[in-house]
Amino acid sequence: MDMLIGGKHISSDDLEEVKNPYDGEVIDTVPIAHRQTADLAIVEANKAKESLQEMSAFKVSNKLYNVCEKLKENREDFAVLLTKEVGKPINESLVELDRSIETLKLAAEEAKRIYGESVPLDAGLNGKGFFAFTQRVPLGVVAAITPFNYPLNLTIHKIAPAIACKNTVIIKPPTEAPLTVMKFAEILNEEFPGGVVNTVTGYGSEIGNYLVESPNVDKISFTGSVTTGLMISQKAGMKKVTLELGGNDPLIVLKDADIDKAVKGVINGAFLNAGQVCMGVKRIIVEEEIASEFAEKLVIETEKLVMGNPLDSKTTLGTLISQKAAIQVEETVNNAVNGGAKILTGGKRDGAFYEATVIDDVTPEMDLVVGETFGPVAPIIHVNSLDEAIGVANDTEYGLQAGVFTSDYSSAMRCAQEIEAGTVFVNKQSTFRTDNMPFGGFKNSGVGKEGIKYAVSEMTKTKLIGLNLR
């Protein structure tokens, strides 16, 4: 599949194979671009700014609705391609398509309500006789650097609001899973002038760095690792950045919780997309009085998951993105076992598969729960009080999302107020998200917010216009 730059298809002498992590099949190849190709994309994106900004909000909105309808018409084909390149179960891919369609609708709606406001200058010294108002204007060119785990939906979360407020975009799709994103860019290109949407494939160390450092790119929106995010923040200069850098999300289960609901929350939160979710349940903090019962019920439900061919609708646990990723999870779990933790179920790897694993007697200093373990692992940490639970929840460099299960709303509100995270859910796991809510974390989980309305705010700048009526 070729890159799309300035409305034209561009290839390269260097190609990268995109393989199905389930069976190793080569699905397609994509070009390995270099700096001159990235520079061409920047030039074309800047050339296209005028044609996009001349469109009315009404027209931009309608075109985004058209893209939404085309994606809906091709929902099943996109889902199959997504499953092949990522390894997630087909039913999860269909959910990602449904969310992507919903996100496009939200962007189409938001395109028609990008408001300024009147400013009472007479509230300030010498302001009598002035009338002033603000406009929200586009930044210019937005570069979206996107991850493999939800390649389509997370790309749309960046580029749909960018286009809604009349920015042109350059997409650097994930090296491991670029095809769904590139196919989607073709639909956008059918609706918008050439150069409004551009795709550049290649390695982040070269292409990503070039986009970050270019003075002709006005914003970087990145989802990925803390290490890369810190590098971007240092190299971006004066351009705006939104960084979604993952999480180590806690789920607190207090002794008065509905245990069955909490177990369901862990199943949905720790094993979704084989645990490759930035807001997935990474640490289960359980009060000692109920820990044994909770663990027993969690094991029973975990063992109901079906690991197999991701294209089989009966499969509920697919592969990780690669065998290398599965080996890394395996080593991290084994290190925890060597440190005294106990595997209650799972713990075995087969190629890129890693079994859904429940591991008990985990301590807060183990690497398994200090870093972000990107795999289907549910680590249980025992605590003796609410105070201790909140302390353990906050003992991390991350602060994306969190959940607490309890029937005591006094305890719930303490958690909501004291847990250091961008979102805290009560009686729901951290993986819950609607595509219109503000999404983004504290601490090393990043800066800025996604969620269409909030992303539009991050992708515009405010201009004041003042009229002297004296």
* C-beta of residue 406 within 8 angstroms of C-beta of residue 254: yes
* C-beta of residue 164 within 8 angstroms of C-beta of residue 66: no
Mind listing the pLDDT tens digit of every residue in the chain (470 residues)?
Answer: 999 999 999 999 999 999 999 999 999 999 999 999 999 999 999 999 999 999 999 999 999 999 999 999 999 999 999 999 999 999 999 999 999 999 999 999 999 999 999 999 999 999 999 999 999 999 999 999 999 999 999 999 999 999 999 999 999 999 999 999 999 999 999 999 999 999 999 999 999 999 999 999 999 999 999 999 999 999 999 999 999 998 999 999 999 999 999 999 999 999 999 999 999 999 999 999 999 999 999 999 999 999 999 999 999 999 999 999 999 999 999 999 999 999 999 999 999 999 999 999 999 999 999 999 999 999 999 999 999 999 999 999 999 999 999 999 999 999 999 999 999 999 999 999 999 999 999 999 999 999 999 999 999 999 999 999 99
CB atoms within 10 A of CB 175: 16
* C-beta of residue 162 within 8 angstroms of C-beta of residue 114: no
CB atoms within 10 A of CB 170: 27
DSSP 8-state secondary structure symbol assigned to residue 9: E
| pLDDT given for residue 157 in this prediction | 98
| 3-class SS letters over 257-322 | CCHHHHHHHHHHHHCHHHHCCCCCEEEEEEEHHHHHHHHHHHHHHHCCCCECCCCCCCCCECCCCC
Closest CA to 291 of 255, 260, 262: 255
User: What is the token pair recorded at 206?
Assistant: 């070269």
The type of residue at 199 is: T
Most distant CA pair in the chain, distance: 79
| pLDDT given for residue 216 in this prediction | 98
Catalytic residue numbers? Answer: 244, 278
* C-beta of residue 249 within 8 angstroms of C-beta of residue 393: no
Q: Distance between CA atoms of 345 and 192, rounded to whole angstroms?
A: 51
Q: Distance between CA atoms of 435 and 105, rounded to whole angstroms?
A: 10
| pLDDT given for residue 119 in this prediction | 97
User: What is the token pair recorded at 250?
Assistant: 């806690």
Is pTM beyond 0.75? Reply is: yes
User: Up-side HSE of residue 256: CA atoms within 13 Å toward CB?
Assistant: 9
Residue 86 is inside which H or E element, if any?
helix 75-86
Q: Distance between CA atoms of 170 and 193, rounded to whole angstroms?
A: 14
* C-beta of residue 49 within 8 angstroms of C-beta of residue 168: yes
pLDDT tens track for 266-311:
999 999 999 999 999 999 999 999 999 999 999 999 999 999 999 9
Supply angle C-alpha 147, 402, 313, rounded to 5: 55
Determine the straight-line distance between the first and last CA of the chain, rounded to whole angstroms: 62
| pLDDT given for residue 232 in this prediction | 96
Q: What are phi and psi of 276, to 5 degrees?
A: -90, 65
| pLDDT given for residue 308 in this prediction | 97
User: What is the token pair recorded at 153?
Assistant: 């939906």
User: What is the token pair recorded at 368?
Assistant: 């398994």
Q: Distance between CA atoms of 16 and 18, rounded to whole angstroms?
A: 7
| pLDDT given for residue 416 in this prediction | 97
